[in-house]
Structure formats: structure tokens, C-alpha cells
Structure 1
Amino acid sequence: MITSIFSKSKSINFIIVFFITLLAFVIARIRLVNEPITLIFILKQLAQLFICYISVLLLNFIANKNNLAVKNNYEILLFSLFLLLIVHTTSNTGIILSNFFILLGLRRIMSLWSQKDVKQKLFDAAFWIAIASLFYFWAILFFALIMISLILYPDNKLRHWIIPFMGVASVYVISVSASVIIYNNFFEIFDITPGVSYDFINYNSAKYLVAITLLISFGIWSSIFYSQNIKKKKKAFRASFKIIIFAVVIAFLIVLHAPKKDGSEFLFMFAPLAVIVSNYIEIIQDKWFKEVFLSLLIIIPFITLLL
């Protein structure tokens, strides 16, 4: 019954997803925010919620445009459930903005399969990823996706390998110019301290252990079948499916290197992981197992709210 609701694109699906996202957002504010409620505070929270909603729609667009989803909304459901699983992911403004720009960059990378406007897409992808790194330094690791895409989409044109670096350079020049105008200093606007921490003590709590176990176990299990199923996809889209796997790996590296491990760093994993798990759900043949699998993904995030 649950799978039948999200097996096709319906407006009710987006209403449910937006409600779950709102729930995660509100719970995070109740538990984590201690600021006085002012007009500026309210406007800031509304802006963050709006970006979360736009990120959901952007993920849905990427999945449908690149045939990553078979006319279902599992990926946005899972994305919202992951937000509820670790509500801290809705609390860090920098990471929310960074993840949004990463999705914009991923959208351009994915569209390379059409082999149209390649130079513009490469520049845009690098530009958005560079902007993302201004809000969260380690997001720059996603730049590797552009290089990987050039390998997966066989491209022997040297200029295509140079263009992404021009996109990053453009962001750097614009940022330095803005810093001079605003702060009268070349690098004041940058927050590029590449802090690293391997202290995982913050994850040593029931809610994090349950959440991380679910993400890793369900993610690895789904990835095995996801990888095996890639060869069944149309040749033009196979590279896009492979890029999603690399995106999860890069996001995992960001989690490992995050200087402050408060849970918000997991946000980078949610979009690509949602695509992988949703694809696995789609290929499950036994209806009862599909229902149980999806039910666990729905129930566990709500259980963690009680921990």
C-alpha cells in the first residue's frame, strides 16, 4: 500500500514530502535553536525552509530529467525521511546553502549525457561547486565529479578539461572583488579554513548510532543491486548512474573530514543516497519485501525522534 502511493508522480506525494521536511525543520528548531524569536530570526528560518523545499524539487528534477527514477517519487520521500532521521541537517545554514549549490552543479554534470552545450555545462558545474565551497569548504571535493564525468563521457578535447578550472577561478575573482569592495581586504569574505576532525564522539549516542546504521546498511545493500542494475540501463544514461555512486563516496569523505561533527554534514549524502535506495526499491520483485523495506525507512526516522 505504501509503495503504491509513491509509485507514480502525484501532487499528494509532494504534500507528504513537504510535511515531513517541515516536521524535521520544526523539531530541529525546538531542540537546537536558543535564539530569541525576532522578525529577522523568523525570516532567516523561512529562507532556510524555502531552500530545503527547493532542494527537494531540484532533486526530483535531476532524477526525472536523467531517467534516474522510473516515474516515481521515492527519491524525494527518502530525502525528506533522511532529514527527519538526522534533524541537525536542517540547522546549519552554511551546509544547507552549500548542498543546494552542489545540487545545481550536479544537475549540470548529469546533463552532459546529451553532449549539447558541453563547455557551458562544465563551466556552470564548476561555478556552482566553487560557490558551494564558499559556504562549506569541503564541498570543493565535489569538483572531482566533473573530472570523473569527463572520464565517463569519453572526451578527448583538452579545452573541456580546462574549462572547469576557469569556472572555479571566476568564483575566486568575483569573491576577491566583493571582499575588496565590502571589507577593503582581499580575503576577508573567505571562510576557507580547511579544518579537519576525526573525533567521532558526538556520534556516540543512540539516535546517531541508529541513524548512521540505517544509512550505511541500507545504503550499502542498495548500492550492490544498484551497481548491478546499471548495465541494464540505456547506454546514454549509464554514466549518470555511476556519477551518483561517486557522489555518495565524496559525501562520505566529507563526513569523515568534517571539522565539526554535529550531524549536519550528512546532508551531502542524502540526495545521491536517496537516488540509489529508490532505484533498489523500484527493482524489488517481492511486493511484501518492498513494503517492509520502505516501511522501515519510514518508521525508523520517527522512532529516532523519541531517542
Structure 2
Amino acid sequence: MLQKLFDSGFWLAILFFIEPFSAMFALLIYVATYVHHKITIRTLFAPVVGFCAPLLIYYAYCLWLNEVRVFTNLFVFKQFHKISFYAENNFYWLVISILFLTTIGFILKTPKALSVNNTFKKNWLIVTFQLLISFFFVLLIPEKTGVEILFLIFPASIVVANGLEIIKSDFIKNIVFYVLLASTVFAVLL
């Protein structure tokens, strides 16, 4: 478990080099540790050590090249820009669809998921928290290109799939599936 926590911190640092706002996903590591009742001193520090290892190596590299400014710029967070990017481009319907289907799936599955006391309840809480962090990540990222929606699609797809699982009628499930498929093809053609 300590190796997995170290790895999560390590890969989060690699993602931090690409997009510094991704550091907010560190909360997810600690929420998962808390939800699974695995909090010890070692489990609290393993992700920190994993996160610091690539940072130290990158700092040494920047110091060697006399480019410490490049390293320190990682910790300068730019102001958040307006979210009108999604309304101006073809992402409008995609974002609306994701939010609508996720909300419906969340409303359908959450009461059933929270009524039982097993590992699914714990994992549902973690997915919910990941969905919230991803939503704020998409809102706060300064340079919106549309790629950041991928961070939102993973937890949203889990919520939507679990919400569709609640629906008993195969006819309704097939209609939802075909509407999603047709809208994807339509969006690609535009």
C-alpha cells in the first residue's frame, strides 16, 4: 500500500509539471486513504515523498542548466479565466450532456450506494469526490483548450454507468445509448 501511495504522489508530480493546477488531486489521495481507514504517519507521508522526489530531480536539473526560474514558475498560479470558452466553441453541448447525464446518474445511484455499508459505498464516495475535484479543475484551469474535459469524463462515466444500471428497462437503456452514439457522430461531423 505504501508503494501505491508513493506512486500516486510520484505520478501526481509528473502531472504537476504538465499542469500545476493538477496538484489539487492530492486531496483525492488523502480522501481515499481516510475513507478506507488506512491513516497512519507512513500513509500520510508516502504521497508527499513520492511528490517531492520528481520535484527535487527537476529542481536539480533546472539548477544545473541555470534555469531555476522555470522551476519556480511552476508554483506561480495564474488567474482563472472565464469559462465562456466552452460556450464559444463546440464544447457547449458536450459539457451540458456530461453535466446532465452525470446529475441524473448521481441522483439515481447515490441513495442506493449510501444505503449499504460495503466497499462500494466507500468507492462511491471516492468517485464523488473525484468528480467534484475534476469539476473545479476544469473551472480553474487558466488555459482552456478542451482537453481538460477528459479529467471530468472519467468519473462522470462511472457515475453515468452506475446510474444506467438502476434503470430496469432495456428499451430505455438502448434509447439512451443510441442517443449518445448518434450525438457523438453528429458532433464529430460538425
Interval of TM-score (by shorter of Structure 1 and Structure 2): 0.7 to 0.9
- Of 133, 140, 161 in structure 2, the residue corresponding to residue 250 of structure 1 is 133
Counterpart of 1:167 in structure 2 is 50
Question: Structure 1, residues 193-224: CA drift from partner, whole Å, max 9, x if none?
Answer: 42232312322247322111101101111112
Counterpart of 1:152 in structure 2 is 35
Structure 2 residue runs of 5 or longer lacking an equivalent are none
Structure 1 residue 261: Cα displacement: 2.2
- Identical aligned pairs, as a percentage? 22
Counterpart of 2:66 in structure 1 is 184
Which one-letter code corresponds to 2:138 in the other structure? V
Query: What is the number of residues matched between the two proteins?
Result: 189
| Structure 1 CA distance for aligned equivalents of residues 39 and 8 of structure 2 | 19
Question: Structure 1, residues 248-303: CA drift from partner, whole Å, max 9, x if none?
Answer: 11111011111122322211111111111122223320111101111122111222
- Of 115, 121, 124 in structure 2, the residue corresponding to residue 238 of structure 1 is 121
TM-score, length-normalised on structure 2?
A: 0.88
Structure 1 residue 234: Cα displacement: 7.2
Which one-letter code corresponds to 1:253 in the other structure? F
Question: Structure 1, residues 111-145: CA drift from partner, whole Å, max 9, x if none?
Answer: xxxxxxx2111111111111111111111111000
Counterpart of 1:142 in structure 2 is 25
Whether contact under 8 Å (1:255, 1:265) holds in the other structure is: yes
TM-score, length-normalised on structure 1?
A: 0.56
Which one-letter code corresponds to 2:50 in the other structure? G
| Structure 1 CA distance for aligned equivalents of residues 79 and 179 of structure 2 | 34
Whether contact under 8 Å (1:178, 1:189) holds in the other structure is: no
Whether contact under 8 Å (2:16, 2:23) holds in the other structure is: yes
- Of 151, 162, 171 in structure 2, the residue corresponding to residue 268 of structure 1 is 151
| Structure 2 CA distance for aligned equivalents of residues 243 and 289 of structure 1 | 28
| Structure 1 CA distance for aligned equivalents of residues 6 and 125 of structure 2 | 21
3-state SS, counterpart of residue 260 of structure 1: coil
Which one-letter code corresponds to 2:70 in the other structure? E
Counterpart of 1:293 in structure 2 is 176
Over 3 Å counting, the alpha-carbon distance change for 1:174 and 1:229 in structure 2 is farther
Which one-letter code corresponds to 1:261 in the other structure? K
3-state SS, counterpart of residue 210 of structure 1: helix
CA RMSD of aligned residues (A): 2.2
Structure 1 residue runs of 5 or longer lacking an equivalent are 1-117
Which one-letter code corresponds to 1:281 in the other structure? L
Whether contact under 8 Å (1:176, 1:187) holds in the other structure is: no
| Structure 1 CA distance for aligned equivalents of residues 26 and 89 of structure 2 | 34
Over 3 Å counting, the alpha-carbon distance change for 1:163 and 1:265 in structure 2 is same
Whether contact under 8 Å (1:135, 1:191) holds in the other structure is: no
Over 3 Å counting, the alpha-carbon distance change for 1:186 and 1:297 in structure 2 is same
Q: After the TM superposition, which of the residue ranges 193-202 and 283-292 deviates more from structure 2?
A: 193-202
Question: Structure 1, residues 146-197: CA drift from partner, whole Å, max 9, x if none?
Answer: 111122011342222122211111121111122234x233353565242232
Whether contact under 8 Å (1:281, 1:294) holds in the other structure is: no
Counterpart of 2:5 in structure 1 is 122
